Amino acid sequence: MTEESILNQIKSICDQEDIISEYVFKDSNRYCATIRTKIIDKEVEKSKWCDNWVKRFSSASTSEWIVRYTYPSAKKYLYRKVFKCHHNSFDKVKERKRNNSRVRDKECNATINILFKKINQDTIKNDPYLEKKLNIVITVS
């Protein structure tokens, strides 16, 4: 995949108000994109919103993701959820025990990190995107 096709893939799942604030392309297997967005529907549950976004990304990129960590509340942010590629080495069998089984451990380090930031006077000082109410940071790497 080329840099342009990966960037178009990311743009295809973004909404009109989303901003790709940072994008670093090393090669087709190693890139990092940071997307800033906000929730239009205030009543949507944060966990479901994360799952829906990752589902859209999965269909666009033909990849599968599993939840690795969930941080429901913290002092510095409202919510955080981390997804890992399903070919990650976490909790996988290293060798085949039977001839007909597949090894899923490909040692893939791909990660999606979704962070809901708090919006108040102190956080707005440190993050210019919070002035535009873009309080969700999605990092795909």
* Residue-by-residue DSSP string for 86-113: TTSSTT--SS-SSTTPPP-------EEE
**pTM for the full predicted model:** 0.80
Distance of alpha carbon 60 from alpha carbon 46, whole angstroms: 21
Query: What value does the mean pLDDT take over residues 90-95?
Result: 60
- pLDDT tens by residue, 29-43: 677 888 888 877 677
Residue 129 pLDDT exceeds 60:
yes
Q: Indicate the pLDDT class of residue 82, thresholds 50, 70 and 90.
A: very high
Q: Which of 63-67, 82-86, 90-94, 102-106 has the lowest mean pLDDT?
A: 102-106
| Structure confidence at residue 73 (pLDDT) | 78
